[in-house]
A = this chain, B = another copy of it.
C-alpha cells in the first residue's frame, strides 16, 4: 500500500502551503519527457481498473464504499470525481454534493441528511463535501462553539465507526491546495468565459478566512482520523498528480479487500437450459 501509506494523515500533521505543490512521484520522478502525459495515461488505466473492480464489488454485495472529498474552493473535487470515478457504472454508484442545508435539513441533526445518502450493499457513493462542513465552515464563522465542535467530532467518530462496523469502507480525501494556487484558479474563473459560471463572489469571502480554514481542517482531520476511516492529505496544486495519487490510493485499498465473485450454486451445475 505504497501511496496509501505515503499520504495518510499522521497524528500531528499540519497543513503547509509548500506541501500542496508537485512531488517527485510517478513519471515526473523518473525525469522522463512528457511526464505529465504519462501520469494522465496511468490515471486513466487506474480509473479503468477501479471500474472493473466495481463489477466484483456489486456482485459480492458484501461491502459498501464511501469516498469523502473535502477541500477549499477550487481544490478540484469535481475534477477528481470525473478523472478517478468517471468510468464506474452509475447504476451502482452515486455522487452526492452537499450544499448549504435546507430548512428541513436544519430542523434535524446535521447527520440526518448524511445518513440518508450513505451507500447500501454493493454500492459506491462519493460525497462532494460532507458532514465535515459541519465542523469547518460552521466553526470558522463561529456558528458553533469550540465545545460544540468537540462534541460533533465525537458524533462523527461514533457515526463512522457504526458505518464501518456494518460493512462500509470509508476513505476521506483532503485536496490540499496552496493559497497562491487558489488565487490563480479563481482568476481563471473570472477571465475564462467557459469557467465564468463557476465563479461565486462568496468564494472570495471564504478565502479571506484562509488561515482559519486551515486550522479547522487540521483539527477536524486529527480528531477524526482512524484506521477504519482514514484521512489522506493529497497535494492538489497539480491536477494531474492529484488525480494520480487518489487513483493509486483507491486502487490499492480496493485491491486489498480481496473481494471475490460469489461461489456458484452447486445445484446450478446440473441445470440444463431447455431448447
Residues of A whose CB lies within 8 Å of any CB of B are 61, 64, 104, 106-112, 115-116, 118, 120-123, 151, 155, 158-159, 161-163, 165-168
Contacts and interface: CB of A to CB of B under 8 A. Distances in A.
Contacts of A167: 109
Given A64-B108, A155-B165, 8 more contacts: A104-B120, A107-B120, A108-B166, A109-B165, A109-B166, A109-B167, A158-B158, A159-B162
Given A158-B162, A162-B159, A165-B155, A118 B111 contact: no
B162 A155 contact: yes
A126 B104 CA distance: 19
Contacts of A109: 118, 162-163, 165-168
Nearest to A167: B109
Contacts of A107: 61, 120-123
A122 B120 CA distance: 31
A166 B161 CA distance: 19
A123 B115 CA distance: 20
A121 B110 CA distance: 12
Nearest to A112: B115
22 contacts: A64-B108, A107-B120, A107-B121, A107-B122, A108-B118, A108-B121, A108-B166, A109-B118, A109-B163, A109-B165, A109-B166, A109-B167, A110-B166, A111-B115, A111-B162, A112-B118, A115-B115, A115-B116, A116-B116, A155-B161, A158-B158, A158-B159
A101 B202 CA distance: 44
A156 to B, nearest CB: 9
Contacts of A116: 112, 115-116
Contacts of A104: 120
A111 B165 CA distance: 12
A92 to B, nearest CB: 11
Nearest to A108: B120
A162 B152 CA distance: 8
A64 B107 CA distance: 9
Contacts of A155: 158, 161-162, 165
